[in-house]
Structure 1
Amino acid sequence: MITDDAEALAVAAALADAFRPGAAERDARRQLPHAEIDQLSSSGLLGITVPRAHGGADVTAGTLTEVFRLLATADSSIAQIPQSHFVYVNVLRAQGSCGQQEFFFREVLAGRRFGNAQAEAGTAHAQDIRTRLKADGDGGFVLTGIKHYCTGALFAHWIPVLARGDQDKLHVAYVPRDAPGVTIVDDWDGMGQRTTASGTVRLDGVDVPADRVIPHHLTFEGPQLHGAYAQLLHAAIDSGVARAALTEAVEFVRTKSRPWFESESATATEDPLLVQRFGALELRARAAQALLESAARALDTAIAHLTDDTAAEASIAVAAAKAYSAETAVDTASALFEVAGTRAALESLNLHRYWRDARTHTLHDPVRWKVQHLGRYLLTGNRPPRHGLL
């Protein structure tokens, strides 16, 4: 059991150090991190956002963000796997009944993991959810649908499923991963984030008791932080990837690179053009982290005093952090090869995993729309829309 923010950060740093050495090989072999995720569970980190009234540490958004950034500096796939876990703990905090909270928070503190079954393929757009939750006539429900990009589901004990119920209202059904009618298919073959196992979940007439269903549509009927909370964790992963790629580049240039002959420098680290380039890269990495920390503070402020204005400020701050960290991750991972030179491209080194991971993870949702919302908020004061991706 982790009891406070300082302990959570210390545990996350220790886990990052433990996960880092095997990250390249896990990626190269697509060796799924079952042992590492079990270690994450047993560490107590998965329970750090459970309210204190239920026995959790109830850490700040700033602490949780730093936990994700630290894990991503070691292995961004491992960092992404529990992202949905914390989002769906937050859904319970927002709309769960007292009984639901008591049951599921106890599960989380015991190390049980939430996955996700949200996204669908072949629909009109990301919010076009066609998975159905229908009343069974006996007080329960039946769940039917196919979900894609289900990060965390393969490692989960519970799979929160986003579905439409009566009157097309949005609900979340918490389903045991081994429930009859649930099939998890490990068919993720993305070029990056290879070991997230973000495959397919099939739901074929799955029985769901009423006390396992959350009325998620209520979240968006007033000021809400669901989207900002989820997006902040994605931004933390991107910021962590940027820092990891830059750290790798520094080590490579220090230990393996030769100076360009025209620089007349004794070592690569004295080459003035390399010094300038590294300075620029460090500036961006620091700016990404600063925006991340600022967004986390805005989210903590809104959590403490939720209004339309504080929710808007938090969403806009997170949008800025997400947009900048995404670009920084991709650009820094690419620059690694620019500063390290030809040898860095050797397949045996697998340094391209940083770019592959950054490019893949930042496709989660388009940052161009976050920039649009920033511009509108600045020019007109219009608050950003209430949905789960902002």
Structure 2
Amino acid sequence: MAEIIRDDAQALKKATELAAEFRTGASRRDRERLLPREELEKLSASGLLAVTVPAAHGGADVRALTLARVFRVLASADASLAQIPQSHFAYVNVIRRQGTAAQQDFFYGELLAGKRFGNAQSEAGTRHVQDLRTRLEPQPDGSYVLTGVKNYATGALFADWIPVLALGAEDKPYVAFVEAGAPGVTVIDDWDGMGQRTTASGTVRLDGVRVAADRVFAHHLTFEGPQLHGAHAQLLHAAIDAGIAAGALAEAAEFVRTKSRPWFESGFETAAEDPLLVQRFGELDLRVRASDALLDTAARAVDTARATLTDETAADASLAVAAAKAYAADAAVEVAGALFEVAGTRSALDSLNLHRHWRDARTHTLHDPVRWKIQHLGRHALQGTRPPRHGLL
């Protein structure tokens, strides 16, 4: 059984403790592509994966602000490990928004017991990211049959339950929760990305998988009114980027303090005293601080909208999250790249694996294009246009 986390402060304390533990092996796991099964078991046992379960069902129901900070601190230690449960929390929100009382009772119980949700959402070879081919076909007995192939299925290899996004009645999107070991479910560890190497974001094949009616959620209803599904999911992506930037800056500073030699023209005994390096670290620190500030602002906007959900508060939350994600994505890539600029030639040694921060940043920030977030910000600033309702904003 998992520990039960009771409040926001306990969640943050537990995340900080785990991050310190996970940081020590992060480089080796990345270098040797050692999947973090033991670390994920500890994450499950800690109770952190159930912190958004409503209080009425025995959970802490933490604020979005707290959850974002949890992801930020975990990502500063190991960006791959932090990425794995991102979809987990997105699908907890599906249960919260569209689940019946019986569905909520069952799945909240699973979460409190430490069970993990994966993800089978994206598909390769389609016209665009929301062009789905996976089908959920109704059967005479009220159950369904699920058939399709999913790619980039982060978390599926480690999951107890795999939420599958599929087209159902009237070609509308539904989410079907299938057990990881169910007949017809095959999870393939074929992820070979240059970064986030240990997320195991591979392929899920679904060959005539039977799904009970009470495991299916009408996801399309989420987007028929004001919603926070996209803002909440994107907030966690922004937190991962902010964490990567913070982790890269901390490692750069440690390297310069302990391993770098001063440039001979500086006249100083240590590299850390070089005013040009001090200047650059100050600039990078500003980037990290701004990422954190925008992340907190966005999380508070999500919390405000959760308390009073209207078209206006939902739009405010989506725009605040878009700003945080756009800024943090750029900051993560810049700071992780600047690590080499400030640390010097030795930092490029492959054996040190300092490039994992840049590889993680560059890979994760490709998740969805920043340029479209900026488009929505610009349209709102110039024309007052609210952002569209979809799961990527």
Do they fold alike, i.e. is TM over 0.5? yes
2:159 to 149, 156, 160: 156
Structure 1 position 266, deviation (Å): 1.9
Distance in 1 (CA, whole Å) between partners of 2:350 and 2:159 is 32
3-state secondary structure, aligned to 2:53: coil
3-state secondary structure, aligned to 1:262: coil
Q: Which runs of 5+ in 1 are unaligned?
A: none
Q: Is 2:143 aligned against 1:140?
A: yes
The TM-score, its normalising length taken from structure 2, stands at: 0.99
Show the counterpart of 1:285: 288
1:265 to 235, 251, 268: 268
Structure 1 position 261, deviation (Å): 1.3
Structure 1 position 173, deviation (Å): 0.1
Show the counterpart of 1:344: 347
1:306 to 304, 309, 321: 309
The TM-score, its normalising length taken from structure 1, stands at: 1.00
Alignment of 1:1-390 (within 5 A): 1-390=4-393
3-state secondary structure, aligned to 2:146: strand
Structure 1 position 322, deviation (Å): 0.2
3-state secondary structure, aligned to 1:145: strand
Distance in 1 (CA, whole Å) between partners of 2:262 and 2:354 is 20
Q: Number of residue pairs matched?
A: 390
Distance in 2 (CA, whole Å) between partners of 1:255 and 1:183 is 47
Distance in 1 (CA, whole Å) between partners of 2:138 and 2:98 is 20
Q: Which runs of 5+ in 2 are unaligned?
A: none
Distance in 2 (CA, whole Å) between partners of 1:267 and 1:139 is 72
Structure 1 position 166, deviation (Å): 1.2
Amino acid at match of 1:321: A
Measured against aligned partners, the alpha-carbon deviations of 1:121-152 in whole angstroms (never above 9, x if no partner) come to 00000010110000011111000000000000
- Give every structure 1 segment of 4 or more consecutive aligned residues whose post-TM-superposition deviation is greater than 6 Å: none
3-state secondary structure, aligned to 1:196: coil
3-state secondary structure, aligned to 2:265: helix
3-state secondary structure, aligned to 2:198: helix
Measured against aligned partners, the alpha-carbon deviations of 1:55-107 in whole angstroms (never above 9, x if no partner) come to 00000000000000010011011100001111100110001010000000000
Amino acid at match of 2:274: D
Measured against aligned partners, the alpha-carbon deviations of 1:187-234 in whole angstroms (never above 9, x if no partner) come to 000000000000000000000010000000000000000000000000
Distance in 1 (CA, whole Å) between partners of 2:217 and 2:378 is 34
3-state secondary structure, aligned to 2:163: strand
Q: CA RMSD in A?
A: 0.4
Structure 1 position 22, deviation (Å): 0.3
Amino acid at match of 1:93: R
Structure 1 position 349, deviation (Å): 0.4
